[in-house]
Amino acid sequence: MSDPAADARPGLPVTELANAIVAFLFAASAPVAIILAAGARGGLTEADLASWLFAAFALNGALTIAMSAAFRQPLAFFWTIPGTVLVGAALETVSLGEVVGAYLLSGLLLIVLGLTGWVKAAMERLPMPIVMGMVAGVFLEFGLDWIRAFATDFALVVTMTATFVMLSLSPAVQRALPPMIGVLVAGVAVLVLQGEAPGLATGDRILAAPQLYRPEFSLAATAELVVPLAVTVIAAQNAQGIVILRTAGHAPPVNAITTACGAASMVTGPLGCVSTCLTGPSNAILVSSGRVERHWIAAVCLGLLAIAFGVFAPAVTQLLLATPVAFMATLAGLALLRTLLAAFQTSFGGRFGLGAMIAFLVTVAGLPIANIGAPFWGLVFGLAASLLLEREDFRA
């Protein structure tokens, strides 16, 4: 019987680095655009946004490295995207200081929930098909965006997709050249040939300049943000990441993850960054290929890339936002293809099928209720449907 620790040592981390790069590009593209849009809606300045991005990447990147190395499994942390949308709306009526105060209270709540073990107990009682139905609903949009990208830049998307297929035909070829590395190189080559490769303008800011904000505590911000932020971290974000890691063969430490999210939120919050969470899509990309016992190396690579992004956030953000949408959509769609397949197989292959379907449909619909994102409500309504109509599955 082989020793996993020994198996994890030899060889260059080519596959792991490839997955880390794709996961990083995903995190640094559309999610960054959501931060910029939410910040603009809330009237944040360029300095506020730069500080937010520094904390979101550099500090969460350090947490990713520490947790992944400590537990020897991929534990990638970034920020809650539904929470970002909540904050953008809240900033229209409350000050940034009050929002920072809500970040701290929400972080404290997460720490309490993690230390008491309540979150792990709840996760163990949630039927896996229903949770994976929610995950499938979240990831479906990435697959659809890849298909839609054929209509916007056919040559680019066909080249990247054909590269993925050719490199995936043979396991030996995959070991020599990971498909996503080939996809990335092929996509960049097409952009260069088309004259669409992004670049920096003279005089642009290069280094981040984090700001420290004094927290203010108000009933309005507390009522609007504290509990919803905690819910989005636990049920809309962490649940995705935990189930994805379990499906890939890992045993994520649920209570430690929740506690770490709370502690990190109390550090990133005073810099203006929304609450920390265990990311679903990025972790899915990290475990999409390669050996299970080496996935944590991919997470460490991702953490290093995130720290570098945080330090050079203004420059890198400009480059990524200038990249064609079709490029990022194809990259993310192909990287998450097998994870989406696994989510569908787990959701609709046996018990709790109706609950899984309700969770999937509610999540895909994307309608928030009471300022809480659709993935949470997908879990709620999916579980309610199974409790009412699939009671035999619970007995089994």
pLDDT in tens, 372-391: 667 778 888 999 999 999 88
Give rounded-to-5 percent helix, strand, coil for the chain: 75, 0, 25
Q: Using 50, 70 and 90 to split pLDDT, how confident is the model at 362?
A: very high
Q: Which two tokens stand for residue 238?
A: 């962490």
Q: Which helix (H) or strand (E) holds 246?
A: helix 239-247
Contact 382, 130 (CB under 8 A): yes
Answer whether residue 228 shows pLDDT above 90. no
Report the phi/psi class of residue 215: left, alpha or beta, with left for phi > 0 and alpha for psi in -120 to 50: beta
Q: What does the block give as tokens for 26?
A: 């995903």
What is the DSSP annotation of 290-343? S-GGGHHHHHHHHHHHHHHHHHTHHHHHHHHHTS-HHHHHHHHHHHTHHHHHHH
Beta-strand runs (E) in the chain: 77-79, 276-278
User: pLDDT at position 55, please?
Assistant: 95
Average pLDDT over residues 15-20: 90
Cα torsion through 358, 361, 367, 372, rounded to 10: 50
Contacts of 263 (CB under 8 A, 6+ apart): 107, 111
- Helix then strand count (H, E) for the chain reads 24, 2
Contact 147, 263 (CB under 8 A): no
Asked if 375 and 134 count as a contact pair (C-beta separation under 8 A), the reply is yes
Among the ranges 97-111, 122-136, 309-323, 369-383, which has the highest mean pLDDT value? 97-111
pTM for the model stands at 0.75
What's the whole-number average pLDDT of the chain?
Answer: 85
Q: Residue 276 forms beta bridges with which residues? A: 79
- For the cut 80, the answer to whether the pLDDT of residue 208 exceeds it is no
Which tens digit of pLDDT belongs to each residue from 34-67? 787 778 778 888 788 889 999 999 999 999 999 9
Mean pLDDT of 346-355: 86
3 state SS of 79: strand
Q: Tell which phi-psi region holds residue 126, choosing left (phi > 0), alpha (psi between -120 and 50) or beta.
A: beta
Angle at 44 between CA 38 and CA 46, to 5 degrees: 105
Q: Which residue has the higher pLDDT, 20 or 7?
A: 20
Q: What is the pLDDT of residues 245-304, one digit of tens each?
A: 999 999 999 999 999 999 999 999 999 999 999 998 899 999 988 899 999 999 999 999
Contact between 53 and 313 (Cβ < 8 Å): yes
Which 8-state DSSP code applies to residue 275?
P
